[in-house]
Each structure stands twice: as C-alpha cells, then as structure tokens.
Amino acid sequence: MDRSKLYRRFRTLLIANRGEIACRVIRTARAMGLRTVAVYSEADRDAMHVALADEAVLLGPARARDSYLNVERLIEAARKTGAEAVHPGYGFLSENAEFAQACLEAGLVFVGPTAGMMTAMGSKSGSKALMEKAGVPLVPGYHGEAQDEATLSKAADRIGFPILVKASAGGGGRGMRIVRSAAELGPAIVSAKREALAAFGDDRMLIEKYVDNPRHIEVQVIGDSHGNLLSLFERECTLQRRHQKVIEEAPSPTLNAAQRDTVCAAARKAAGAVNYVGAGTIEFVSDGRDVFFIEMNTRLQVEHPVTELISGIDLVEWQLRVAFGEALPLKQDQIRLNGHAVEARVYAENPTKNFMPSVGRISTWRLPAETGGLRIDAGYREGDTVSPYYDAMLAKVIAWAPTRDVAIERLNRGLEESDVRGIVTNIPFLSALMTHPKVRANAIDTGFIERELAVLTQAAPAPGELELCAAVAAILNDERQAARAQASSPWQTFGWQPVGRRQRNFAFRVGHGPEQKITLNYGSGPATLVIGERELAFTTTAKEGGFDLTLDGVKSSVAAVIDGHELYLRTRNGRFDLHWVDPFGGESEEHVGEDKIAAPLPGTVVAVLAVEGENLEKGAPILTLEVMKMEQTLRAPFAGVLKSIRCKVGDIVQEGVELAVVEPSGE
C-alpha cells in the first residue's frame, strides 16, 4: 500500500476519546502546533476535554455505543471540521481494526498501527499463535476459534485449575474471571462473555493457566514506518484489583539489569513479528522464575507517563511524528534510563463499599501543583459531573525521583495533599496502599490488594483534639468570610463583642456516632477552646484551601471544606468527615436499612439470578447490573424468601430504585 495514505503530515487532529487521555493528547498536539478537535456525548457537553480543544463536535446520546463507539459519527465529525488525522487514545475504539480501516478509507491518518497489525496482535488468541511461531514463551492455554461451552470446558480440564477465562478482544480486567473449579466454569463464562460483549462488542473467550502469586511486567515499544522498532524499558503493574491496574511503576523493581535486557529483547521480538508501527505494549506475567507473554496492547497505555518520566520521551509526540511518516528520533542505544517513577490512578469509587462507582458533581477539586517531580494528568475540574456512563477514572498522580523510595514518598505526599469532594474517591485507599510496608519492600503479587483489603480500607481514625479544634476554626473562618461580604458588619472578627467575655458551644459527630462537644471562649482577651478539662489558646491564619491552626504554640496546616453542616477536614492525622450538630435542633435524617435491594447507581439489568419464592441464603446472588462498564451483582442481605423482583433483563434503572424484596426467615 502507498505509504502516503497511511503516514503523512497533517495540521488538524481529531481525538476520538474523552476524559484524561483526550486532555493529555490535546496538550501535546497543541504544543506541536496542531489544531485539535474534540468529540463529546450529551453527557459530556461541559467536560474538560471539550473546553481544551480548538473545536468540538457532538456525537450523540450519553451511552458510548451511541457516541464514542459510533464509527460513522466519528468519521463524519472529522469531515465536518476538516480533521486530517484521528488519535484514538485508549479504550473505546483504540484497538478496533474496523475503526482504523474506516479512517484509512475516509482518507484520515490513524495515529496507531494498521488494521492488519491490530487484528494480528489485538486478538489475544491470534497474537498467542504468532508468538508461539516466533518463539516467545507463552502461558499454557486454549486460544482456539471454537467457543462452545463443551470445548472451553474440555480445554480447562486439560490445562488444569485454577484457570483464567478472559475476553479475546478485552483489556482493563473486563470480561475476565478466575475459575478455581469445574463447577464455577459455566457461570464464569456466561458472565465474562456478557461483560466482554458490552465493553468490546466481541464475546470470544480464551482460557489460560492461572499463575499463582504472579507479577505483571510490561514493556513499552514503539515502531516507525522505516523499520525502526524500540523498547523503552519495562513497567511493573503488579498492584491490581480485579485485573485492573491500580499502581504502576517504572522500571520494575523486580528485575535486575540482565533480566531487563532479556524481557525487552523478547518484547521487540514480539512486536517485530508483525513489523509493528506505532506505540504499543507487550505484557508478560512472571511466576518469579520465568516470564510468559500474555498479550499485546496495540495502543497507548494508561500508565505511559511513568515511562515518559524515566526516559525523557513524550510518547504522544513520538506517536504523532510516526504518523507524520518520520523516523524515530533516537536509536536503541541512545535511550537512557533515569530514576524511578510511580503512578496512582484516582477513581470516583468507594473502597469501603466494594469499590462501588461514585457519580455526581465535583464540588471541590484540589490537586497539588506539578512541582518537585510531581505530575498530574487529569480529565476533570471543580464543577464537572461524573456520570455513570463511562470509566470512573478522574486523574493520575505520578511522581519521579532518583530512587524508588523517594518516588514513593513524593507520590504519597501528592496523594495526601489531594482533596476531591462532592463524590467519593479512592485517594485514601491509594495512600494506604503506598504506605504499606510490603509495597515499600516490593513483597507483592497481583493478589496482594485482595488479601490486604481489610487493612487498606479500614475506617478513618476518630477525630481527636486537633480535629475538633480545627472544625470550630473552620466554621469561624467561614462565618468571618461571610461577614466580610457585609462591609458594615461588626462580625468581621469572631471575637467582637460589646462588653465582657462570652461562650459558644459546638457539637460534632461522625456518622451516627456520639456527639463530641467543644466550647469557644471569646471576647476580652485571647480566644480559647475547651475540650473536657483542657483549655487551649488558639489562633488561625487563612490560606487557600484551608488555614494554619496554632494550638498552644504548635502550628498545624488544615485543609477544610464546609457544605452546610457537613465538614471535611484534612490534618496531619488523616481525613475526617464531621457533622456539625445544629445548635437550634430540628435535624432530620433518613435511615436507609441495609436490607433494601436497590440500584446503587444508574445501570442496566443484565441478568436475573433468582426466582420469586426462592429460599435464599445470606449473600445469594439475586441480579446483576452493568454500571460504568463493569458488572455489579446484588445479593441477599440476609437469609430469607425472595418475595418479588421488580425489574427484568434489559431494564435501565435509576439510582435508589428498589429492584427486589427479600423477606427475612421467620417473619
């Protein structure tokens, strides 16, 4: 094929994606002097990537299949805006060969591999056949075309349990199940196929031997149209949950220099099997002794920033230069490894509630400045809305340092200084993970998070003396700011009084716990706070996002957010959510029982797993929802009889809608 149809210089780039990766591509493209075009769904009208781009085109309704997965509308968006090239980002259509081919046929440069390369390496089954022929070591498994349950069951018996059932076209842990016995296989295949079809439009499965205590190591590769193919070192992505990466670092702390050379050479050999052009990642699993090829991702990875920080290479810039038809600017022996980088993925999810996605408006968005080796790749801002229709990742916090220990410390400091409110995030969980001694010692495998989940998601400590004093100071500072809006108000300082010394009482509680009381003494003389028998002199100095609180001569930095009577505080002791008890009474609260089987978020009913009248054990599955592209199974909260199911497969349900009723045994 004429290379000019595949690779040529262009001036206008359409980014066929959303969120953090769309913002990331736009920034580099604009720095290179390119005009950028964003696309968006009705749910993303006010999204950050839309605001950043030079132009933006509405694709359609919120659901991805009607917008970001609609090839015809994407091609039409390029035509309308005069875009000459398309960058697919990651996820959505980034590894869809039909989309790459449609771009070519429309006269557009696809910033990525060709459809043929994508087909060869994007299929987990097909790529394994290629790797076997090329002599790249593989995990024992079944990668055949036959997809009936009998064939898959026979293959599983031959391989031996435990096995991994995974989507051939998948990624990100979707359509993937660990199966430890023959009895679990049938339901796992059905669920994995359904999830894979919804996420990728392809429900073909493959089966592999599940490697116990595995480590996940991957190598970044990039090739140009002149026959040059480079590896840019490896990344360790072992810290995962449900096969979804949580923390990534580069280089791998598990490999020595000789092992690094070996795995990078194997990656180049794997990509060379299809004369690969573009950025891609060769993924391996290690049992501590050997390294086996898993798959190739024919796109940019979420975790590419750690590679950029240790190599000094902008991978998006190199992608675009390859798409221009240029040769890669460096040779393999010119690439240098410098320092260590670690990345944490910030998600809108609640770790204490089985990582249930969180949706809503972001009322507070405070992430640290990109200084001192810290990098922030974000796709959201204060005021943005997190919808239930897409992946829940909000941002990535990445840290670089000369050594791994210092990089981890910098990353954890960045996480500790991050405050996002209005939705629930996994930031405290990430911080707990990065401070875990086994993570620091690299004594981990891909099952580490599941084993340590109770430790990593333990409840926040109870507020102490510092937090109660900070809560009062936050309220006083808030009132002072409100008073300043009234130029003639005497309440511009909380200590103003006509005569004498006064008291003001405060009460706070955490959740439905007991009230904790504190008294403010003010008026003539210094203000003090009284907790029990202790009286503390205090002063505050306001600053952006909070204030400095000095108690008995010790200054502490406090971050604070007040929303009515709800207070969020971050002190040296951690993060705290307190309720300020209304001093005038009249509070009313809704108590929702745990027995309510309701939709936790808007979603689609994809399976009903029980029948009315059935006797259920506690924890028995009742139905499955698809929420944010992942399946969530709702289970019986106690042993009882399933009295009714108030939905059917295919129903789109809203948050809080009751879906089933279980009557407890004995009632």
Q: pLDDT tens across 495-548, in order? A: 444 456 689 999 999 988 899 999 999 887 889 999 999 999 999 999 999 999
Residues of the chain with CATH 2.40.50.100: 597-664
* Contacts (Cβ under 8 Å, ≥6 apart) of 359: 348, 385, 386, 387, 388, 423, 601, 602, 655
To the nearest 5 percent, what fractions of the chain are helix, strand and coil?
30, 35, 40
Which one-letter DSSP state was computed for residue 458? P
pLDDT for 420 = 97
Residues of the chain with CATH 3.30.700.30: 465-580
Residues of the chain with CATH 3.30.470.20: 215-456
CATH code for the domain defined by 597-664: 2.40.50.100
Distances (CA, A) of 600 to 111, 319, 353: 38, 40, 10
Kindly name the residue from 215, 299, 421, 570 that is annotated as catalytic.
Answer: 299
What is the topology classification, in CATH, of domain 140-209? Answer: Dna Ligase; domain 1 (3.30.1490)
pLDDT for 127 = 79
Residues of the chain with CATH 3.30.1490.20: 140-209
**Closest of 361, 333, 337, 359 to residue 348, by C-alpha:** 359
CATH code for the domain defined by 215-456: 3.30.470.20
Question: How many CA within 13 A on the CB side of residue 33?
Answer: 4
Which one-letter DSSP state was computed for residue 615? E
**Closest of 20, 14, 11, 6 to residue 74, by C-alpha:** 14
CA 3 to CA 323: how far, in whole Å? Answer: 10
CA 306 to CA 253: how far, in whole Å? Answer: 13
Low pLDDT (below 50) residues in the chain: 488-498, 586-594, 667
CA 317 to CA 305: how far, in whole Å? Answer: 13
CATH class of segment(s) 465-580 = alpha beta
Place of tokens 């009482």: 505
Which one-letter DSSP state was computed for residue 334? G
Q: Per-residue pLDDT tens for 70-97?
A: 999 999 999 999 999 999 999 999 999 9
* Parallel/antiparallel/unpaired status of strands 205-209 and 141-142: antiparallel
Q: Where are the alpha helices (DSSP H) in 363-515?
A: 404-416, 427-434, 437-440, 448-451, 453-456, 465-484
Determine the 3-state secondary structure of 383 from DSSP.
coil
Inter-residue contact 543 to 477 (CB < 8 Å): no
CA 336 to CA 313: how far, in whole Å? Answer: 10
What pTM was estimated for this model as a whole? 0.82
Residues of the chain with CATH 3.40.50.20: 3-111
What is the topology classification, in CATH, of domain 3-111? Answer: Rossmann fold (3.40.50)
Token pair in block for residue 108: 């557009």
Determine the 3-state secondary structure of 528 from DSSP.
strand
Distances (CA, A) of 2 to 20, 104, 112, 211, 275: 34, 11, 17, 44, 16
CA 657 to CA 250: how far, in whole Å? Answer: 44
Would you call 381 a catalytic residue per the annotation?
Answer: no
